[in-house]
Structure 1
Amino acid sequence: MEYVDCTIRATVRTLSESYLDLGQDALSELMGNRVSLRLVSLEHDPQTQRPKVSDESNLRFWGALTKGCDSYNTVTFYVKGDFGRPGAILLESLYVNEFYLKSITLEMQDDSLIYFPCHTWICHSELYSNQPRVLFTNEEYLPNETPKALLRLREAALEALQGDGKGQRVYGQRIYDYDLYNDISNPDESEDLRRPILGGSSEYPYPRRCRTGRPHTINDPESEQPELGFDMGYVPRDERFSALKKDLFLGAGIKSFGRHLLSTVDCLIREDHPFESLEQIHRLFSKSMLCIIDSSATTPRGMPACPLEYPIPGVIEVNMDAWLSDREFARQRLAGKNPVLIQLLTEFPPQSKLDPNIYGNPKSSITLEDIQPFLEGLSLEEVIAQRRLYILDHHDVLMPFIHKINESSEGKMYASRTIFFLTEERVLLPIAIELTLPPKEKGQEANKRVFTPGPTHSEWLWRLARTHVAITDAGYHQLVTHWLRTHACIEPIIVATRRQLSIIHPLHVLLLPHFKDTLHINAMAKTSLINAGGKIESHYSAGRYCMEISSVAYKSWRLDEEALPRDLLKRGMAVKDPSAKHGLRLTIEDYPYAVDGLDVWAAIRQWVQDYLALYYIDDKALQEDTEVQRWWTEIRDVGHGDHAGAKWWVPMHKVEELVEVVTTLIWLMSAYHAAVNFGQYAYGAFMPNSPCMARRLIPEKETPEYFELLFEPEKFFLSMVPTQGATTRAMAVLEILAQHLDEEEYLGERVDRQWTSNRRALAALETFRQNLADAETAIEARNAEARNPHRHGPASLPYTLLMSTSPTSGLTFRGVPNSISM
């Protein structure tokens, strides 16, 4: 039978030519360099037993139709009539410039369309070992269901991303591999910038990072040379910010740090001076055009009118003095920037698990006599039975570091325990604080001091104790709650997914929106935030020990306990109750983070369950999925290899296990991160509410410092917390971290409406969006109910962090992005 030739017309959508170097592209084409495309059929050639492949057709950028930021070019393929339906495209580029390929749409002879959702940067083929890029359609396949013609291409596309673990990675490459955190030191510049390698040891366990392969330092052959240039470190090309986001990010940084720099240059703040008064701090947020911060400073003549004031933090926007109240302090443990640590107190007094031979008596020094006046006439047994006592425990994880921190850094710290009581009105209040310093010598007892509110103690002593708890909590929040549990722990998940799951694997398609920009923001953090001498060490009391503390916290990390319901049960903040919504009854009914979080968790879980059910008809299908099994093995044994062998890892033999794992991952990458990140400015920018650092400890009685405190308590308080310059620098960082940029993609959104050809998957996504909208409506209703004391509190700041949408960009205190994008 004779077959006639036919044509297939392709519409290629790329980022607009205005973003490309047209001159270089034209010269490249004149020199014979091209972007070539070949179609791969789903049918085999009966003679070669290989997939049918079309002849090359070239993509030219000249004469493109431009619509907004997109350019549309046409490419025509000539194939035999028996070519069959294309299932892949092979692309090779000899262009000097990279270009962003958004999609390719094929128009078939029967007028049907085949869509290829690409969304990838195309660089010169030399960066891909001169192998063609493989582009697939929007049809998902499990490995054993892949059309035979695509099997080898599926495998080759994954192999191209894995690399060989050798050499230094360069811009434009797409290699994903693992390495230790051996890149945060800089011993070649100074011995003071030497830090332990994190990961690969029982002493300093840590998740793995994406390998860059830079040379090692001279003074420490195990450490990798740090990347000193801004945003110069290797990040796989498709993980980098878009040009728009990079501009927005830089603009936000210039604006935030510009306020600090202008104020410093013009003597409106004194860099290393404490604030003179609380009112002086409030003037940082003044609406006046010139914000004179230092009362002794004068405005230089000729200084232009420049708005230097910072946005007003939510915690003081309505009630300037709310932060002073015990009720607001307690409320922030349930609805603040770190609402994930408070736990039920089940035994009194609480006890340490540290070695008593080193750290002394493990029992807390808080006595029944200390807390009895606040128990509303109930006995200790009654309040424990009624689940009315709670604790914020920063003792064991910090105690081993306290002496080193206090001896070697500007910051000062205690190991702290704070006990809360849930009143008859169901309002949480702090009733006792224990601040502990380790024994000076082995065999001695620790220095434990107990503070309680009320007339028997100085109001300022209680306030100072509460501030030290807030400082400890702020550091733990940034290092563990935020950085470790989201950014660091998710990075190897992304690397494993890219390495082991084909882009046409249903699970990769499901997870893809939740990876946006995470590896890039992490790489930037390693060069300016968490690195030796970086902003985190400079701003927080733990100083050079910041990352070591996060390593200690990682020792007790468990992925299964990152699931919100299990986390609440573990902390005693909920009990199982089949009759209750979501099967859990909260021990504090008005716990905004938990109440709202469970609604969002349920929506995510339903979406994951509905989607995966489309591809896994039973557990056997999962067990036979070679890619998912390799993915899970690599996460367990490599990405989180310091926990390899732990019994809590699920075997990944049941679809229900996959649903739970994937729900947990999406929760961490979206809602959990939103809850602990986007409230940072609202609660942390007004420094007295949540200082990053303490510069002084609380003086002992009968010392000169104690009389200094009694005589001028506000002055002592301000000498204890960060200086003017340190405060405004920290505020600039928090402002950047806590804002949404215009390019944000929120939970339930897909940048490409044709992300899948599966209509049932599209319908399941619409159900997910509706469930998120319902959750948002429920949050609004709860915030409107006066009977919920913890949703507004004295600060009158309604809890909106888990509302999935944000009406605008900026500091909106709401909106759940798909990914850890900031």
Structure 2
Amino acid sequence: MVIYTVKAYTGKRHLAGTTSLIYIQLRGTEAESEEQNLNPIKGFWQGSEREFKIHCEASLGELIAVKLHSKPLMGLLHNRWFCDKILINTPEGDEILFPCYCWLDCKERLVLRPAKASLVFQDTNPIAQRQRMRQLKEQQKLFGFVGSTLIQVGWRVYAKGTPQVIDCDTPLTLPAEVQFSYTKETEFYSSAGKQLAALMLTGLANSRKSWESIHQLEAILCERVKTIEYCQEHWDEDEFFGYQFLNGLNPMMIQRCSTLPENFPVTDDMVKDTLRGSSLEQEMEKGNIFLSDYEMLDGLVGNVVSGRQQYLTAPLVLLYCNPHGMMLPIAIQLRQQPSKDNPIFLPTDSKADWILAKIFVRNAEFGVHEVNFHLLRTHLLAEVFTVATLRNLPSPHPLYKLLFPHMRYTLQINIMARKQLISKDGAISKYAGVGGKSLEKLLKRATASLTYSTLCLPDNISERGLETVPQYYYRDDGMKLWDIINKLVAAFLSLYYQHDEHVQKDTELQRWISEIFTNGFLGRDSSGIPSSFQTLKELIKFVTMVIFTASAQHAAVNSGQYDFGGWMPNYPTALRKPPPKEKGQTTEDAILETLPDVGTTVNGMAVLKLLSKDSADHYPLGHFPENLHDEEVPCKLIGDFQKDLRELSDLIEKRNKTLELPYTYLNPKNVDNSVAI
């Protein structure tokens, strides 16, 4: 007779405990135990740790699986159980972890595999192979494959020419494990409800009046954080306008300019006062001239907001990095094609003309940032990576274990975004000039422009010629984060893929990348996204990009939305007048009439605040609430990863103490593991 000691860990989430009867069976390479009831008297309470003894006539051999089964107490009382993990001490003295982190419903069965990771061709035991295949088929049923023929029904075309999304209309149809926790769901809807109630009580939400003055906006700032106050004070200054191209919500547009675009005929005479005797050609040769081109918006028609037509522009902005390292705007053309009624605005123009030109640029920023760099390049891509992982990688796969923390809540937040933000009745459609039909067109254009190199930070920085631009904190912090993530990914994957041949023969991995290429990047070879992996080096780079996209990049373009957008003139969601066709006609009243009305402003602010708010149930990068590993080397790598992140956090905080406006968004403490908001 031998004894196996079993410890069952109930999750700490709301209603994780159960009064149902829980049965367990151990499966080894030599035999399996009898199914045993795990003592129904005490039950399994939230956060509890219970220990049991399982007696077997002889050793079961190497443990392959743990089977869990639930039955109602007395045939009547039944409720779900959230099991975190099962820990088993064998008669041979081994301690084996079986991660779960799933809900077990009444009359349902779960099969758990050991925490030790393995590739498909390394799971050589026939029983283990069958369990692996069975688990994958169960995942495929949950996330869209039907039967053994693997008919693809799990992906849905959201809009032709854009990444496909999961085929779910409501979060309630998602498997329970990928839905919001009770805490997050309650907090999210509570925050949204409070903001809506506050808007209604003030009577501002439905107001169609123009603001009487810029200063009147001060009364609606409900939260005065340092960045918002800085925006309020400096929003109309050139130094801050230029700073935001590097460290604002969208640090992805600006690029070094070596030749002026033909459709942007800026002359030396126009910028002579700014360049102080130098010429554009000379400054371009020195690498001091930069361009931000919003061509992607060209030809799009503005949305109708509250019955009034809104206007979109596709500006070109020329910037100069002066000897003090300040990025300054020196010329703005608001539409793509030069003409007499499309003047080039300059800092030497009247103050009102120049401010209005910058306001149109900041509105263009709203459209391109929210649709391209935020929605597409973080939310939708993270959804593609998540669905492909859940459909193609079983839990023993090392890549599944590596990516698991970076998938949390992504599917639910995206379903909610499609329903509540970008649907016909969503907030963007109601309160943004880029909403409605133009949003779909812009999303298609953005998808067509999407390339692998733009998603890989080192390549992207190099392509845009920004390696040496001073005071580019997004680049500085982002490159360090990329390197830290890459170090973990390289060391982790090298444990399991010891030769390139291992990468090539991993059929689960090859299906994973093929599905990402086909459904996420629409099979476009021109995107540069691999459709298969031939080398470990290729795999490491791609997985680094996946984790960076879902964590650091999302933090960079999401977390500061209210910080930079809470002061509306700095980030207007819509503009009510077309761009001026001549100089010298702009007045303060004209600016106020162009800016969003009162109702559009406060509703837009409420959305930005909600989207920027962390919940209590969030996990910063490097936090692993699920214990998926029991091997010594992976556990050490995770510890090293956490240490590297802490050291980077200390460096960033030390630097920020010297800055007038600290850059905090890529401090690892402020980076979520996943796209969860």
Asked if Structure 1 and Structure 2 have the same fold, meaning a TM-score greater than 0.5 normalized by the shorter chain, the answer is: yes
Quick one: structure 1 residues 673 and 18, their matched pair in 2 at CA, closer, same or farther if it must change by over 3 Å?
closer
- Pick aligned residue for 1:427 from 326, 332, 337: 326
Distance 1:695 1:179 in 2: 38
Match of 2:211 among 267, 275, 285: 275
Is 1:736–2:618 an aligned residue pair? no
Is the 8 Å Cα contact of residues 142 and 175 (structure 2) preserved in structure 1? no
Q: Which amino acid aligns with 2:282?
A: E
Among 75, 85, 94, the alignment partner of 2:62 is 85
SS of residue paired to 2:334? strand
- 1:670 corresponding residue in structure 2: 551
Query: In structure 2, which of residues 455, 460, 464 is the aligned counterpart of residue 571 of structure 1?
Result: 464
* Cα distance in 1 between the residues matched to 2:38 and 2:384: 36
Larger RCO of the pair (alpha carbons < 8 Å, separation 6+) = 2
Deviation of 1:767 (Å): 1.6
For residue 477 of structure 1, the aligned residue among 344, 360, 369 is 369
Give the distance between the partners of 1:595 and 1:470, measured in 2 at CA: 24
Paired position in structure 2 for 1:531: 423
Instruction: Indicate if the aligned counterparts of 1:176 and 1:499 stay in contact, CA closer than 8 A.
Output: no
1:58 maps onto 2:22 in alignment = no
| Deviation at residue 276 of structure 1 after TM alignment | 1.6
Q: Which residue of 2 aligns with 1:452?
A: 346
AA at the equivalent of 1:331 = Y
**How has the CA–CA distance of structure 1 residues 653 and 211 changed in structure 2, closer, same or farther, with 3 Å as cutoff?**
same
> What residue is the counterpart of 2:450 in the other structure?
557
Cα drift, residue 619 of structure 1: 1.2
Q: Distance in 1 between matches of 2:526 and 2:285?
A: 37
Q: Per-residue CA shift, 1:219-266, capped at 9, x if unaligned? A: xxxxxxxx5xxx6552232111111111121222223333212212xx
Secondary structure class of the residue paired with 2:644: helix
Shift in alpha-carbon separation, 1:769–1:720, aligned structure 2, 3 A: same
Q: CA deviation at 1:506?
A: 0.8
| Paired position in structure 1 for 2:185 | 246
Q: Give me the whole-angstrom Cα distance separating, in 1, the residues matched to 2:543 and 2:385.
A: 11
Residues 1:489 and 2:428 are matched in the alignment: no
Note the 1:291-330 alignment, pairs <5 A: 310-318=222-230, 320-330=232-242
Check the 8 A contact 2:14/2:183 in 1, yes or no.
Answer: no
Q: Distance in 2 between matches of 1:430 and 1:177?
A: 49
Q: Which residue of 2 aligns with 1:366?
A: 266
**d(CA) in 1 for partners of 2:676, 2:171:** 18
Alpha-carbon distance in structure 1 between the residues aligned to 2:538 and 2:442: 31
Which amino acid letter does the alignment assign opposite residue 818 of structure 1? Answer: N
**Aligned counterparts of 2:382 and 2:120: Cα–Cα separation in 1:** 24
Task: List per-residue Cα deviations over 1:201-230 (Å, max 9, x = no partner).
Answer: xxxx11111123xxxxxxxxxxxxxx5xxx
Deviation by residue 1:150-170 (Cα, 9 ceiling, x = unmatched): 1110111001111299899xx
Cross-structure match for 2:667: 803
Partners of 1:762 and 1:503 lie apart in 2 by: 17
Distance 1:164 1:239, change over 3 A: closer
Distance 1:181 1:260, change over 3 A: farther
Partners of 1:176 and 1:210 within 8 A in 2 = no
Name the CA distance, whole Å, in 1 between partners of 2:527 and 2:284: 33
Provide closer, same or farther for how the CA distance between residues 237 and 60 of structure 1 changes in structure 2, counting only shifts above 3 A: farther
* Partner SS for 1:163: helix
CA–CA distance in 2 between the matches of 1:780 and 1:164? 43
Work out which of the residue numbers 144, 157, 174 in structure 2 matches 1:235.
174
Give 1:189's aligned residue.
none
Larger Rg: 1
Range with greater deviation from structure 2 (465-474 or 317-326): 317-326
**Secondary structure in 1 aligned to 2:556?**
helix
TM-score computed with the length of structure 2 as normaliser: 0.92
Aligned AA (2:227): V
Give the Å deviation of 1:418.
Answer: 0.7
Query: What letter matches 2:61 in structure 1?
Result: G
Matched-pair contact (CA < 8 Å) for 1:619–1:653:
yes
Query: In 2, distance between residues paired with 1:550 and 1:734?
Result: 20
Counterpart of 2:479 in structure 1 is: 598
Tell me: CA distance 1:425–1:414, structure 2 relative to 1, closer, same or farther (3 Å): same
Cα displacement string for residues 612-646 of structure 1 (whole angstroms, at most 9, x for unaligned residues): 12112121221222211221122112343342675
Indicate whether 1:410 and 2:303 are aligned.
Answer: no
Identify the residue that residue 534 of structure 2 maps to in structure 1. Answer: 653
Secondary structure of 1:589's counterpart equals: coil
How much does 1:487 deviate? 0.6
- Identical amino acids, percent of aligned pairs: 27
- 1:660-700 per-residue CA deviation (whole Å, 9 max, x = no partner) reads 00111111011111011001111001111111111112344
SS of equivalent residue, structure 1 residue 755? coil
- The 8 Å contact of residues 163 and 177 in structure 1, kept in 2 or not, is answered as no
Go from structure 1 to structure 2 and tell me whether the alpha carbon gap of 1:120 and 1:701 turns closer, same or farther (over 3 Å shift): same
Is the CA contact 2:2–2:56 (under 8 Å) kept in the aligned structure 1?
Answer: yes
Other-structure match for 1:622: 503
Q: How does 1:26-45 map to 2 (within 5 A)?
A: 34-41=21-28, 43-44=29-30
Q: 1:404 to 1:378 in 2, by over 3 A?
A: same
- For structure 1, the residue ranges without an aligned partner over 5 or more in a row are 45-51, 127-131, 169-174, 183-197, 200-204, 213-226, 286-309, 352-362, 440-444, 575-585, 786-791, 806-814
Distance in structure 2 (CA, Å) of the matches to 1:315 and 1:18:
36
- Judged with a 3 Å threshold, the aligned counterparts in structure 2 of structure 1 residues 386 and 61 are, in CA distance, closer, same or farther, namely farther
Unpaired segments of 5 or more residues in structure 2? 73-77
State the partner residue of 1:340: 252
CA distance in 2, matches of 1:166, 1:770: 39
State the secondary structure of the residue aligned to 1:555: helix
Contact in 1 for aligned 2:302/2:433 (Cα 8 Å): no
Amino acid aligned to 1:39: L
Distance 1:65 1:488, change over 3 A: closer
Amino acid at match of 1:596: D
Match of 1:499 among 391, 394, 418: 391
Note if contact 2:342-2:581 (Cα within 8 Å) is conserved in structure 1. Answer: no
Change (3 A) 1:36 1:641: farther
- The equivalent residue for 1:391 is 291
Aligned length: 666
Corresponding residue number in structure 2 for 1:154? 132
Q: 1:462 to 1:166 in 2, by over 3 A?
A: closer
| Aligned-pair Cα RMSD in Å | 2.8
Does the 8 Å CA contact 1:253/1:736 hold for their aligned counterparts? yes
CA offset at residue 62 of structure 1? 4.3
Q: Which segment is superposed worse, 312-321 or 527-536? A: 312-321
1:15 maps to 2:11: yes
Secondary structure of the structure 2 residue equivalent to 1:641:
coil
Structure 2: how far apart are the matches of 1:498 and 1:65?
28
| CA deviation map 1:437-456 (0-9, x unaligned) | 779xxxxx7952210012xx
Give yes or no for contact 1:684–1:691 (8 Å, CA) kept in 2.
yes
Distance 1:780 1:166 in 2: 45
Residue 337 of structure 1, CA deviation: 0.9
Q: What amino acid is the match of 2:182?
A: A
Note if contact 2:227-2:563 (Cα within 8 Å) is conserved in structure 1.
yes
Query: Is the Cα contact below 8 Å between 2:302 and 2:309 reproduced in 1?
Result: no
Contact 2:332/2:357 (<8 A) preserved: yes
Of 627, 641, 657, the residue aligned with 2:522 is 641
Q: 1:448 corresponds to which letter in structure 2?
A: N
Aligned residue number for residue 101 of structure 2: 119
Question: In the alignment, what sits opposite 2:75?
Answer: none
What displacement does 1:74 show? 4.5
In 1, Cα distance between equivalents of 2:480 and 2:580: 46
1:725 pairs with 2:599: yes
Cα separation, partners in 2 of 1:468 and 1:13, compared to 1, 3 Å: same
Give the Cα–Cα distance (whole angstroms) in 1 for the partners of residues 403 and 44 of structure 2: 32
TM-score, scaled to structure 1:
0.76
Q: Tell whether the 8 Å contact from 1:365 to 1:448 is kept in structure 2 after alignment.
A: no
Tell me how far 1:181 sits from its aligned partner: 3.5
Residues 571-629 of structure 1: CA deviation (Å, up to 9, x unaligned): 2222xxxxxxxxxxx2x122111011111111111111111121121212212222112
